[in-house]
Amino acid sequence: MIAEETLVQELQRGESRPKAFEVLVNTYKERLYWHIRRIVLDHDDTDDVLQNTFIKVYRNIEKFKGESKLYSWMYRIATNESLTFLKQKSRKMGISDQELKDKMVENLQADVYFEGDEIQLKLQKALATLPDKQKLVFTMKYFQEMKYNDISEALDTSVGALKTSYHLAAKKIEAYLKEN
Amino acid sequence: MSSQNNTMKKDKKNSFNTPEGYFESFNDRLMDRIRKEETNEAGSIIPKTDGFAVPNGYFDEVTPTVLSKINTKEPKVIPLKINRRLYYGIAATAAIFIVMFSLTWESNPEPLTFDDLANAEIEAYFEHTDLEMTSYEIAEVVSLEEIQLNDILGDDLEDDIIMEYLDENVDDIEELNLEDIDYD
């Protein structure tokens, strides 16, 4: 696997850019897909947002100064793209953000690419009740098994605040699952 | 002080015991517990997987799809090596174009106005642009004193237009409940 620093240098140099970008997409497509999927829930929407994320990365790579890890920087773009996508979707549908979240979970029952059972559907319902930040922290830690330092860079939040968010989210989800 | 020393000595001599290797393995067990608590593994009822799936072969298609989009959206690079004859040709064409454009420009003195924008374009702008402001927030930024009725209507309403409107739309002038009150 190519070192991140080398990859960034090649991405910022004209002649090696296309090849380096292909390496970048191959390296991060799955991780970013699952990150986006856990925010927008639907596969086709995730595919759109994932492509937009990579296009944004390609167009802005020259502005990347290396102050954070490339991986965290891309997570930040993917997170922003996903949240913006949801905001635009709720506006187009003329419903509130919460109504959209509830609708997205409702749609999972008929989604051929959702193979979850009753408890996993309840988990999604519980996640839909959380504030965006808590949901993000929880899924990044619990399902994507990211380190707090990496989440901290991606979400621009201190590790202490992330730990608090994570524990609050876990308690709320557990309480929801017990009640329902 | 002497009684404390006696107690400590007693403790050292006490009959409590620990399992073999207890203190040697203490650090590992502590770290393991911290890790478990951080990932919420300790007896959690939260499922370990979330049930999402992807179509077969989806990840194989992602890279070519993204690369094709990058290639089509990237502007084509035109080499700057042009010979002198071509250069003069381009310059002459540009000169003719500029002259024709300036003549056409002068023959059309009507400047573009806001009215020339189609309503559909304006609606599309508000539909697709993320203004990130609610009507309440807009109201906070733009104070009521700055908004005049005529800003919305565009033109001043002439008296005869008002009279014509009332004539056509009000059956009984009494409905207006007008009283001849002098407010001066």
List, as one string, the DSSP characters of B109-129: -----GGGS-HHHHHHHHHHS
ipTM of the complex: 0.86
Q: How many CB atoms lie within 10 A of CB A46?
A: 25
* A25 contacts B63? CB cut-off 8 A: yes
Segment 115-144 of chain B within 8 Å of chain A by CB: 127-128, 130
Q: What is the reported pLDDT for B95?
A: 76
Q: How many CB atoms lie within 10 A of CB B9?
A: 10
Q: What is the reported pLDDT for A66?
A: 84
The DSSP-derived string for chain B is -HHHHHHHHHHHHSS----TTHHHHHHHHHHHHHHHHHTT-TT--S-S---B---TTHHHHHHHHHHHHHHHHSPPPPP----HHHHHHHHHHHHHHHHHHHHHHHH------GGGS-HHHHHHHHHHS-----HHHHHHHS-GGG--HHHHHSSPPPHHHHHHHHHHH-S-GGGG--------
Q: What is the pLDDT of residues B86-125, one digit of tens each?
A: 666 677 777 777 777 666 665 555 666 666 666 667 767 7
Q: What is the pLDDT of residues B19-42, one digit of tens each?
A: 888 888 898 888 887 776 666 554
**Which fold would CATH assign to domain A1-113?**
Rna Polymerase Sigma Factor; Chain: A (1.10.1740)
| The pLDDT of residue A43 is above 90 | yes
Rounded percentage of chain B residues whose pLDDT exceeds 90: 11
* A115 contacts B40? CB cut-off 8 A: no
Please enumerate in sequence order all residues whose Cβ is within 8 A of that of A96, keeping only pairs 6 or more positions apart, or say none: A90
| The pLDDT of residue A48 is above 80 | yes
Q: What is the reported pLDDT for B173?
A: 59
Under DSSP, is residue A116 helix (H, G, I), strand (E, B) or coil?
Answer: coil
Write phi, then psi, for B52 (nearest 5 degrees). -80, 145
Higher pLDDT, B154 or A85: A85
Q: What is the reported pLDDT for B184?
A: 42
**Model confidence at B153, in pLDDT bands (50, 70, 90)?**
low
Ramachandran quadrant class, B40 (left: phi over 0; alpha: psi -120 to 50; beta: rest): left
Question: Is B60 in CB contact (< 8 Å) with chain A?
Answer: no
Q: What is the reported pLDDT for B42?
A: 46
Under DSSP, is residue A23 helix (H, G, I), strand (E, B) or coil?
Answer: helix
Please enumerate in sequence order all residues whose Cβ is within 8 A of that of A33, keeping only pairs 6 or more positions apart, or say none: A46, A50, B54, B59, B62
The whole-chain average pLDDT of chain B stands at 69
Which chain A residues are closer than 8 Å to B50 by Cβ?
Answer: 38, 116, 120, 123-124, 143
Give the mean pLDDT of B146-175: 66
Give the mean pLDDT of A58-74: 89
b/e sequence B154-163, b meaning 16+ C-beta within 10 Å: eeeeeeeeee
Q: What is the reported pLDDT for B183?
A: 44
CA atoms of A64 and B80, how far apart (whole Å): 29
Highest mean pLDDT among B42-56, B65-79, B130-144: B42-56
* B39 contacts A142? CB cut-off 8 A: yes
Please enumerate in sequence order all residues whose Cβ is within 8 A of that of A144, keeping only pairs 6 or more positions apart, or say none: A31, A34, A35, A38
Q: How far is CA A126 from CA A37, A121, A131, B42, in A?
A: 16, 9, 11, 19
Give A102 to chain B, closest Cα distance, Å. 17
| The pLDDT of residue A47 is above 80 | yes
* B45 contacts A121? CB cut-off 8 A: no
CB-neighbour burial class of residue A129 (10 A; exposed 0-12, middle 13-18, buried 19+): middle
User: Largest alpha-carbon pair distance within chain B?
Assistant: 113
The pair of three-digit structure tokens given for residue A74, joined into one six-digit string: 């891309």
Under DSSP, is residue A68 helix (H, G, I), strand (E, B) or coil?
Answer: coil
| The pLDDT of residue B54 is above 80 | yes
Q: What is the reported pLDDT for A119?
A: 92
**Which fold would CATH assign to domain A116-180?**
Arc Repressor Mutant, subunit A (1.10.10)
Higher pLDDT, B166 or A106: A106
Domain limits, chain A: 1-113, 116-180
Nearest C-alpha in B relative to A92:
B127
Q: What is the reported pLDDT for B98?
A: 73
Q: What is the reported pLDDT for B161?
A: 79
CA atoms of B50 and A114, how far apart (whole Å): 9
**Model confidence at B45, in pLDDT bands (50, 70, 90)?**
confident
Nearest C-alpha in B relative to A33:
B59
CB-neighbour burial class of residue A163 (10 A; exposed 0-12, middle 13-18, buried 19+): middle
Give the mean pLDDT of A78-94: 94
Q: What is the reported pLDDT for B126?
A: 66
Give the mean pLDDT of A80-88: 95
| The pLDDT of residue B175 is above 60 | no
Q: What is the pLDDT of residues A118-173, one digit of tens each?
A: 999 999 999 999 999 999 999 999 999 999 999 999 999 999 999 999 999 999 99
The whole-chain average pLDDT of chain A stands at 92
Q: How many CB atoms lie within 10 A of CB A90?
A: 18
Which chain B residues are closer than 8 Å to A47 by Cβ?
Answer: 58, 62
Higher pLDDT, B170 or A88: A88
Give B26 to chain A, closest Cα distance, Å. 24
- Stated as kind and residue range, the H or E segment containing A17 is helix A17-40
